[in-house]
Structure formats: structure tokens, C-alpha cells
Amino acid sequence: MRVYMDNGATTRVTEPVMAAMQPYFCEIFGNPSSVHGYGREARRAVEAARAQVARAIGAEPREIYFTGCGTEADNWAIRGAAYANVKKGKHIITTNFEHHAVLHTCKQLEKEGFEVTYLPVDEDGLVTPEQLEAAIRPDTTLVTIMYANNEIGTVEPIPALAAVAKAKGVLFHTDAVQAIGHVAIDVKAQQIDMLSLSGHKFHAPKGIGALYLRQGVRLQQLMQGGAQERNQRPGTENLAGIVGLGVAIELATADIEGRAARMREVRDHMIKRIMDEIPYVKLNGHPTQRMCGNVNVSFQFIEGESLLLHLDLKGIAASSGSACTSGSLDPSHVLLAIGLPHEIAHGSLRLSLCEENTLEEADYVVDALVEIVAKLRAMSPLYDDFIKGVDGEQGGEGCCSACRRQ
């Protein structure tokens, strides 16, 4: 049996999306900037997809700009807003467990003379409106806080956070790359000024993303070239990718509550079995205020890398955190941000579901985890010492309190 539970890294392009894209490779292939019939056909497809994206998040089509990915959208929103508003101030607020597309962009801005406040999150990964309000200063120009964390799945109180920024006259950007298709988003009702998304997280192809930019918000253009995307983002449009993005986001948001409910059923089933059947394990992220497809757990006394290799041998695809840092030997900055010690953070596992995952697959994965964790712990001297009870009490010095079996 093969099971794919790494949808947080990327999703497969589904058949309806692929079918919609197919004509735009060989049949309707014109450059959308060309004035002839081939170009006009292509332009109509681009604008239809722009309208689909806008409807999915409660925006206007003219507020949607296509990009190459979510990382580009994050960079454009943050750097573009910072440069465009430098006369007002050079202070930016974010959190300490954002995706690296945000954190590294902010670090670069610090090198350029900007000041960044990194708000801490609590043990569940939440930041509060009160924290944000206390951090805003007269020279604050931008707040950027992710909608849902890519590793532990915690969903932030974005409407409340955006309301604080709005009341203070500060731009609010959210990286919603992981949230699209999992959480209902209405940028107008939620007072979001800028929002980044990436198609490959909801069954569109890789290499296509978008930035929502509220009408009236000014960004400095970061790239130079042609006049595409209303003179804001030069470069010939990825026609087939844009078409796929439009169809995919329409499908992902058409019955978002029904899809989320199905994923929650599988997610909760997995979490219950893992917590009931495997000792010394911790659920990471908020227990309920989390993405419907996210399971992130830490197993004490084993390494996440070994766990992933053994799962792969059983045909199971998972991850130990963000796909963008999978080659790193350092523990996840997200898990450290919520207070996990290094030795616990190293034993983390992320299982990220989509609506196609079944209860049968969930049981296969948990059965495999029970077997693999027991096997790896049997080879661990630390676990052996712990079981022998070096301090005379099970769950004592060798285990963090969050992992102790109740």
C-alpha cells in the first residue's frame, strides 16, 4: 500500500485541473500580451482565472496579481510595502514562527536598516491581538502574520489581528499559502490588505501563485521588465498554470466546510489512535484551532529522520516539518518557538492530509507508526535507561512533562 500524507509540501494536480490546463499547452498557446486572436484567447483565459481567484477569497479581480509562487508573493508584499512606506517609518511586525519566505525577507530588511519585531507565540502557536497592539508604534508600517502555520497547523486569529492593524492605520499582510482550501477566507470582511497564496498547495501545478493587493495599497515594484500584471509584475504569464490555479481554487473553496469536515474526521481519528497507542508522544499545535488536515506529533527518544526513512520503506510519504528546510539537521524553528526542547523537537513528524485521504489509509499509517516507534526505541540507549528508571520513577528526568503518559 502507498499512502501520500505530505500534502503540506505539495499536492497532486487533480484530473479536473489537468483537463482544464491541457488546451493551453498546444491549442490555445498565444502570448496574453499579443494583440492578435491567439493572444486575445490567452488573455481571456488569464482574466477568467483572475476572477476565479478573486471570488474564492472575496476580492475584486483587479486586486489579484499572478506570481511564480507563494514565496515571491510574500517577498513582494513585505519588501514592496516596506520600501513604499519608508517615509512613514521603518518598523515591521511579524512572529517568530513564520515560514522562511517571511522570516528571511524580514532578516534581509533588517540588514537594510529596517527594524523588525518578532512576536513570540504561546505553546500552541498562537499570537494574540493584545500582543500585536502593544507592539505597534507610530513608525510601524506593516504587520505580516501567517494565516495557518505550515508545520503545526495552528490557525491564527487573523480577523482580530487585522482589525488591530486597521485601527492603527498599519498595513496587514498574511501568508495564507497553507490556509487556502482549508479555512474560509474573505479578505474584505476580515480586513486583510495583502494575502499570498500558492497553487501547488491545493491541487494546482507548482510554479504559480498569486498576491491579493487591496485596491489603494501601494507597493514598490521589485522586478523590471514588461508591462504584464498592470505594470506591476513583469514577465510573460504562465498561461496553463494560471488556468490551473483558477480551476483549483474554485474547486478547493466550493464546498470548503464539507471538505474540511471529511479531513477532520480522518485527522482526529489518527490523533486519537496515536495518543492512545504510543507512549511519550506530544501533539504539537492548537488542539482544536488547527488546520483540518494537519497532524504534528513529537516522539521522544527517536529521530524524525529515522522515522521518515522507515515510513518510506512502508510506502508512506510524510515529513518532519517544512519541505523548504527538509535538508537541515537543525530542529524546526517552529517547534522551538512553541517551547519544545531540542531533543523533543528532533523527533517530530508532520502528516498533512487532503480530502482524498481515507480512514483506511489513516489506520495503515498509525499501525506502521506503532511498529516503527517501538522498533526505534528498542535500539535507543536513552529509552533503555529511561525504562529502567534511572531516577526510580517512570516519566521522570528523561522525559519532558508534556510527553509523559498520563
How confident is the model over 279-301, as pLDDT tens digits?
999 999 999 999 999 999 999 99
Does residue 395 carry a pLDDT above 60?
no
pLDDT for position 330: 72
How does residue 385 score in pLDDT terms, banded at 50, 70 and 90? confident
- Is residue 399 part of the annotated active site? The answer reads no
- Per DSSP bridges, beta strands 91-95 and 140-144 are parallel
217-228 pLDDT, tens digit per residue, is 999 999 999 999
pLDDT at position 146 over 70? yes
> H or E element: which one contains 91?
strand 91-95
| pTM score | 0.94
Say how far apart CA 41 and CA 9 lie, in whole Å: 33
Q: Which has the closest alpha carbon to 142: 167, 173, 113?
A: 173
The whole-number average pLDDT for the span 23-32 is 97
Catalytic residue among 292, 324, 400, 403: 324
pLDDT (mean) for 124-138: 98
Q: Is the pLDDT of residue 311 over 80?
A: yes
Task: Count CB neighbours of 138 within 10 A.
Answer: 9
Q: Residue 400: is its pLDDT beyond 70?
A: no
> Among candidates 211, 201, 246, 193, which has minimal Cα distance to 75?
211
C-beta separation of 166 from 106 below 8 A: no
